Amino acid sequence: MSATVSHDRLPRSFYLRDVVRVARSLLGQKLVRVHQGRRLAGVIVETEAYLGVEDLAAHTVGGRRTARNQSMWKVGGSLYVYFTYGMHHCMNVVAQPAEQPVAVLIRALEPVEGVEAMRAHRSARGKIAKKNRLLTDLCSGPAKLCQALAIDRQLDGVDLTTSNQIFIERLRCRAFSRDRIAQRPRVGVAYAGAWADRLLRFYLKGNPYISRP
DNA sequence: AGAGTGATCATG
DNA sequence: ATGATCACTCTC
């Protein structure tokens, strides 16, 4: 046994639950990326739930199943990474059983391990905003955190319960209480009609690491 | 408020 | 094949 504290990896059963429940329960858990032998990690502070075939904002709306989004159809605990705007990657945690194409977009982290490597990754990509030298802006957006943790399509479809490259460790046994979680409309989905107004974005109230106030 | 950037997807 | 779109970020 190691003398250091070891945190349990979240088990399959965590991910098989209702996607909104998973989105709330992921707050406060630790996302770990092992990259070039180093741990890059951050505490999840902001998420969004995407509800599948009926959700006009989801990539799987209407039952769409394409080369890009096929990972969303996998079993809960799988990773879905997509590329957009010609330059950005975003990562999602798939929830519920296979063939139920729902997922949780990870929108922001509080960086806690490998911060200097994260900064290097963010700087390497063209210009880095001066404000991004601040710890609070290093992982304060879905594409920013993927850049910082070196997450791209190579990781699409991996199983978070077994992968050695990326996984989620349990820091909290219980989800935060309702009064500590803000519930807002999702970002960037104005096109989604009635679904644009649904309160499917979750973040820790008052947390300085979220993507926007 | 607008540019950047190219994969992706529905259409034909 | 083609063109519109895009679960974003940065700078103006």
Nucleotide nearest to A70 (CA to C1'): B8
- Record the pTM: 0.94
pLDDT at site A7: 75
3-state secondary structure chain A: CCCCCCCCECCHHHHCCCHHHHHHHCCCCEEEEEECCEEEEEEEEEEEEECCCCCCCCCCHHHCCCCCCHHHHCCCCEEEEEEECCCEEEEEEEECCCCCCEEEEEEEEEEEECHHHHHHHHHHCCCCCHHHHCHHHCCCCHHHHHHHCCCCHHHCCCECCCCCCEEEECCCCCCCCHHHEEEECCCCCHHHHHHHHCCCEEEECCCCCCCCC
CA→C1' distance for A99 and C1 (Å): 32
pLDDT at A207: 97
Of all nucleotides, the one whose C1′ comes closest to residue A88's CA is C8
Q: How far is the CA of A176 from the C1' of C4 (A)?
A: 41
Distance A191 CA to C5 C1' (A): 11
Confidence class of residue A5 from pLDDT cuts 50, 70 and 90?
Answer: low
User: Which of the nucleotides in strand B have any atom less than 7 Å away from a protein CB atom?
Assistant: 4-10
pLDDT of residue A105 exceeding 80, the answer is yes
pLDDT in tens, A132-141: 579 999 999 9
pLDDT in tens, A71-82: 999 999 999 999
The A 139-158 residues near strand B by Cβ under 7 Å are: 153
